Amino acid sequence: RIVYVNGDYLPEEEAVVSVFDRGFLMADGVYEVTSVLGGKLIDFAGHTARLNRSLRELDMASPCSDEELLAIHRELVARNGIEDGLVYLQVTRGNPGDRDFVFPDPKVTKPTLVLFTQSKPGLADSPAAKTGWKVISIDDIRWGRRDIKTTQLLYPSMGKMMAKKAGVDDAWLIEDGLVTEGTSNNAYIVKGGRIITRQLSNDILHGITRAAVLRFAAEAQMVVEERSFTIDEAKAADEAFVTSASAFVMPVVEIDGVALGSGKPGPVATRLREIYLEESL
């Protein structure tokens, strides 16, 4: 696999980043994941806009222009022959040459830009979408700026492990009895034909897939309510689903052992997945 590091395209074994890089020492970095279907980048403009916002919110310099980023994405997809899969991009505050809590001078320390691809043949017809995911609920103990897509992924990773241990697919994070989001996706319930998903704030990531799916739902005359919902309301819902760049629209069929509706992927989630994939391809 060919990866990109700070201007160079290299075989992955030859790509190196300093041990003093603040991404490595302090998780001082942001990232994006853009999916690729049929060799095409999905929602690239949205991911770039969110990346720039994340960088701004953290006072981090942008490593290059949006046009250069697009060129790097395309080059990597081509060099690695990616039909279906994703492009991972990470910007960290770089290597100040020593460990220090104070941000380094951006005139001296350049950000580190790393990109790589992951090939996932048949990404769009994932068998999991036909059976749906089971989830458990766990406490949301993450920091208060979940709107910034930082590389601080230890707790989401622990949540995924808790889910795995419980024999299910993912965890929904709960704060004050309310669902914030999944470990790495936005969460939705459907009740009486209405789609309910948490409103945007610093409490959740502003999903790029979420924005697209809400737009498609409105175009299909579906009713959307952007508001918080409790985990109890979720367990009493007709159906549920999550969205992300890697899972697209993934039906959720069980929460904490409680089956939703028929216990099979619901019609709204199924329809939205179809629309999302049709519009993206």
Binding site for ligand PDD (CB under 6 A): 33, 181, 184-186, 205, 207-210, 243-246
Least distance between ligand PDD and beta carbon 108 (Å): 31
* Amino acid code (one letter) for 123: L
Cβ proximity to ligand PDD, 23 vs 104, nearer residue: 23
Q: What positions carry a catalytic annotation?
A: 149
Instruction: State the Cα–Cα distance between residues 257 and 234, nearest whole angstrom.
Output: 12
Instruction: State the Cα–Cα distance between residues 198 and 142, nearest whole angstrom.
Output: 17
Cβ proximity to ligand PDD, 109 vs 206, nearer residue: 206
Residue with tokens 């100040």, as numbered in its chain: 96
Cβ proximity to ligand PDD, 95 vs 243, nearer residue: 243
Query: Taking each helix axis from N to C terminus, what angle separates 44-57 and 208-219, rounded to the nearest 10 degrees?
Result: 130
Cβ proximity to ligand PDD, 14 vs 143, nearer residue: 143
Contact 34, 90 (CB under 8 A): no
Least distance between ligand PDD and beta carbon 31 (Å): 7
Least distance between ligand PDD and beta carbon 159 (Å): 10
Contact 41, 74 (CB under 8 A): yes
Instruction: State the Cα–Cα distance between residues 196 and 191, nearest whole angstrom.
Output: 8
Q: How far is CA 199 from CA 140, 190, 203, 279, in A?
A: 17, 15, 9, 24
